């Protein structure tokens, strides 16, 4: 495959299409720091917003202590602390890309 010929963002898009992965999982698969993956994800979200054939999916973080879900959070990074119970046991958000059906 031409994975070395693809840009990091193209590789992230390919990995996220049809599945959900955390930024940590993406960083391991791509061999780059997690912070770089999160920076690329910000740009990917903007690019996909203009693409009617694909939708960016965000599975929000959850508190493992009280089950609070960070549904209204717009940042793509993991929250540091739960606003309800102050626990730091927070799951990482997971990201994905879904191809939308445009044909009939």
Q: Could you read off the pLDDT tens digit of each residue along the chain, which spans 104 residues?
A: 445 688 999 999 999 999 999 999 999 999 999 999 999 999 999 999 999 999 999 999 999 999 999 999 888 899 999 999 999 999 999 999 999 865 44
Neighbours of 4 (CB within 10 A): 6
Q: Where do the structural domains in the chain lie, given as residue ranges?
A: 8-99
Task: Pull the structure tokens for residue 25.
Answer: 């999982």
> What kind of fold does domain 8-99 have according to CATH?
Arc Repressor Mutant, subunit A (1.10.10)
Rounded CA-CA distance 101/99 in Å is 7
């Amino acid at each position: 495959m031409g994975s070395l010929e693809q840009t990091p963002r193209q590789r992230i898009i390919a990995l996220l299409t049809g599945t959900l992965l955390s930024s940590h999982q993406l960083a391991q698969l791509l061999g780059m720091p997690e912070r770089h993956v999160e920076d690329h994800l910000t740009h990917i979200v903007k690019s996909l917003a203009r693409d009617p054939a694909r939708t960016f999916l965000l599975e929000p973080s959850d508190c493992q202590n009280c089950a609070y879900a960070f549904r209204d959070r717009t940042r793509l990074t993991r929250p540091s602390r739960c606003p309800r119970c102050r626990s730091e046991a927070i799951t990482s958000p997971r990201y994905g890309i879904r191809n939308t059906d445009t044909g009939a």
